[in-house]
Structure 1
Amino acid sequence: MKHCLALLLLAAPAWAVELLPRDWPVQASLSGRIDMESYLSDGAPPALLFSDDELFFNPRVSLFADVHFGSHWYAFAQARFDRGFDPGLNAGGKGRIDEYFLRWTPLDAPVINLQAGKFATVFGNWVQRHLAWDNPFITAPLAYENVLIMTDRTAPAGAGGFLGRRNRTDTKGSWLPVIWGPSYATGASVFGRIERFDYAFEIKNASLSSRPTAWRADEVGFNAPTYSGRLGFRPDAAWNLGISGSTGAYMIGEPTPGLPAGSERDDYQQSTLGFDVSYAHGHLQLWSEVILSRFEVPNVGNADSLSYFIEAKYKFTESLFAALRWNQQFFDTVPNGAGGNATWESRIMRIDTAVGYRFNRSLQLKLQYSYGHENSPAENAEHLLATQLTWRF
């Protein structure tokens, strides 16, 4: 039976179920993906891996619904069944709807599109390829998953308590990265393309760094929204250049414990600026982003960081590819409460390597090894080995 199932997976093409007759004005389809992932680390799992085990398995089923109402209206929804949005976040497993939106394209050309719902951020160029089938790696770049000592739940009492977190193992239940993965926050956007230029602007209920529970409108409302945007330029078919920006309140409590008297959570912003470039020619693809972010920390001051990654993917054949990514993240100083300054986080570097094989249009296998080093005594893992088997249906 196991051998029969394996042969079926190898032979099956990717497909989507057409839910309505093709001659109807409304077209609807349903497709899906099954991801089987495993992670092995030499200590506390790094980044946004929430399991307490050094070796753990993470299965995921994703369903995608696409509905076209003529040529000007489009609706989409993505549902997942797994152990949490990030591996191990909900050990018992649950289902949820991660994305849903309605899009209106008033013109026949994609010059302008209006969209509302819960969807991925327009910031940068990695989010556009974050799904398992499009991402050459299993994990995200450093800026999108490296957990910092920044918290969104309470305000630190002062610089001493804030800086004291640097030597602790990541407290992922309350700490944040610069950008939390694809950031599926709730809101509205306008985007389009005019000749060689792309533009996209959005207003969301939560910041780029906000955790998945904050992305829902019923958890964090719109009283302190985040504004983000990206402007892109395509000088030719091979190159795509972009600049992104975002600003908004990053704390989610209302009221937030520990804030100075007379202040509110929207007095403390996360402001982020990004530059991205991508290149594609023949079998080679290159991507890079530089991201600068500032958190206004209550009772401390401005905490700045700079991160970047350079990523390359090369297709040896139609099926076999390899990828390499270099990541680094640096941090500025904040007042240490004793008349001086101190770097607020530990500098970190990471190199990601991956090899992937597509058996056909529906089945893909990836293997990734990552080595990261952080200038900190915290006991975070340095080595990570991951595998991912993806079946599209």
Structure 2
Amino acid sequence: MVIHWLRAAAVLLVWTTGASGQSLPYGPLTVFDGRLTVTGQVDAIVGPADDVAFFNYTDYEHNALRMLQLRLAGRYRPAGWLELVADARSEDVERPRVYAAYVRVHPWRNRRFDIQAGRIPPAFGSFGRRAYALDNPLIGYPLAYQYLTSLRPDAVPGTADDLLRMRARGWRSSFPIGSAEAAPGLPLVSAFRWDTGIEMRWAAGPVEAAASVTNGTLSDPRLSDNNGGKQIAVRLAVTPRVGLVVGASAARGPWLSRDVVPASAGAPPQTALGLDAEYSRDHWIVRGEMVWSRWALPFALWPSTSRDVHALGAWAEGRYRVTPRLFVASRVDRLAFSKIAGTLFAGAPVPWDAPVTRLETAAGWYLQRNLVARLGVQGNWREAGRLRDRGFVSASLSYWF
């Protein structure tokens, strides 16, 4: 009820400011002669409930198409070579969580090189680094960054059938080894959490590179270590011409908790590879990304001899600016899984989780430079589950300063 009142208040605020000719303040806020910068963001998304299919469920157990997100971030620069960055977010008026908190050091003034330590931006991929609402022209998220598989860091299947029974159950999966409680699974890459560690970034001319060492993994970023291992992630991006950026990423790190696999036994890793590209020209911007992930398991899933499972997520989106205020955007998205064979499905090999296809389109209107309203339609098709097909109509209002 509180959420609906807040959303109604936001809509009313927009209507009244528009009617009176006033506008919401631009940002950011700066104090101490510009050394401290404060920014904020409010994203109010209204859409139907999804308590059966859970297509847009997130790893924080919220509906990405039915959510109120509040964000407050600050950046303090006590010296030219040093920055302190913090970012706190709240979803559906819950207790705020620390999204980012890190120190950034610039050792050389005339070189594009820095070191970041703390809860840091991801080195892998492109979508996870987007900070503001205007960076995502759609309301929903790409499947690779949001959709929950059935895999969990605190519980594992004992046989192939244990895993196959959880197809399309990423929103609440359970396995016989490890935690006995049902809980949400993992995405390929989490868009809702940043990892903790250290990162180095370097750029020269058209080339940019980043490398990080963190406590968690792409699918399970963590504040503290849960298995004694570290993930290494790298990304290389090239701008061969104006408007075109092409990047490649790789990451590898242990993903299972020490409560499931003792440290002495060796922690099975998550290994990921990624490709991304962006091209902008005139009124167009086109983006695409591909993420391949492999999760190693502590033992073979009988009767199969395989000791790992794979997933591949790929999406492409485009945005066209019709007028300075009006834009339209669309995204096509696919998430596929490797096959395993158990005794279910007559022993035939089937994907270990249910493949998903998503199409989404939206139109947006800039009420002012930092206030945008969107109306979107999303369709989802899945090859298993209690509800295999589901469409959503949603609306959002995003304000930032």
- SS of the residue 1:161 aligns to: helix
**Paired residue type of 2:259:** P
- CA distance 1:120–1:261, shift in 2 (3 Å): closer
* Structure 2: tracts of 5 or more residues without a match: 1-11, 174-182, 302-306
Native 8 Å contact 1:168 1:379 kept in 2: no
**Cα–Cα, structure 1 residues 177 and 20, in superposed 2: closer, same or farther, change >3 Å?**
same
| Alpha-carbon distance, 1:140 to partner | 1.4
Runs of 4+ in 1 over 3 A off after TM superposition: 1-10, 41-45, 49-57, 167-170, 259-262, 337-342
Provide the residue aligned with 2:201 in structure 1. Answer: 191
Query: Structure 1 residues 10 and 383 mapped into 2: Cα distance closer, same or farther (>3 Å)?
Result: farther
Report what 2:325 is aligned to: 319
Name the stretch that deviates more: 43-52 or 97-106: 43-52
After superposition, the Cα gap between the structure-2 partners of 1:302 and 1:56, relative to the gap in structure 1 and judged at 3 Å, is: closer
Identity within the alignment, %: 21
Contact 2:104/2:117 (8 A) holds in 1: yes
Q: How many residues align?
A: 371
Tell me how far 1:31 sits from its aligned partner. Answer: 2.1
Counterpart for residue 270 of structure 1 = 270
Q: 1:52 to 1:237 in 2, by over 3 A?
A: closer
> In the alignment, is the contact (CA less than 8 A) between 1:303 and 1:332 conserved in 2?
yes
Counterpart of 1:238?
243
CA 1:356–1:272: 2 relative to 1, 3 Å: same
Tell me the equivalent position of 2:99. 98
Q: Which residue of 1 aligns with 2:9?
A: none
Q: Residue 323 of structure 2 aligns to which amino acid in structure 1?
A: T
**1:182 Cα deviation (Å)?**
5.2
Residues 349-358 or 41-50, more deviating: 41-50
> How do residues 13-162 of structure 1 correspond to structure 2 at under 5 angstroms?
13-22=25-34, 27-41=35-49, 43-49=52-58, 57-83=66-92, 93-162=94-163
CA separation in 1, counterparts of 2:21 and 2:161?
56
2:154 and 2:259 in contact (8 A); partners too: no
**Which of 344, 347, 353 matches 2:352?**
344
Structure 1 residue 226: Cα displacement: 0.9
Residues 1:52 and 1:344: Cα distance change in structure 2 (over 3 Å): closer
Residue deviations 1:28-87, cap 9 Å, x none? 12221122111215643313358999998522221111112333212211112333xxxx
Q: Tell me whether 108-117 or 139-148 shows the greater mean CA deviation.
A: 108-117
Q: Distance in 2 between matches of 1:31 and 1:273?
A: 33
Residue number in structure 1 paired with 2:7 = none
Q: 1:288 corresponds to which residue? A: 288
Describe the superposition over 1:208-238 as per-residue Cα deviations: whole angstroms up to 9, x where unpaired. 001xxx5212xx3572111111011110112
RMSD: 2.8
Q: Quote the residue 2:8 is aligned against.
A: none
Say whether the 8 Å CA contact 1:38–1:55 is kept in structure 2: no
Measure, in 2, the Cα distance between the counterparts of 1:354 and 1:64: 28
Query: Aligned partners of 1:55 and 1:254: how far apart in 2?
Result: 31
The equivalent residue for 1:86 is: none
Q: Does 1:216 align with 2:223?
A: yes
Amino acid at match of 2:222: W
| Letter matched to residue 392 of structure 1 | W
By relative contact order (CA 8 Å, sep 6+), the higher-ranking structure is 1
How does the TM-score come out when normalised to structure 1?
Answer: 0.86
CA deviations over 1:314-364 (Å, ceiling 9, x no partner): 111111111111111221123426986432122211111111111112211
Other-structure match for 2:400: 392
How many Å separate the matches in 2 of 1:61 and 1:165? 33
Provide the TM-score with structure 2 as the length reference.
0.84
Q: Distance in 1 between matches of 2:336 and 2:168?
A: 16
1:128 positional shift = 2.8
Sort the Cα spacing of 1:254 and 1:379 in 2 relative to 1 into closer, same or farther, 3 A.
Answer: same
Counterpart in the other structure of 2:381: 373
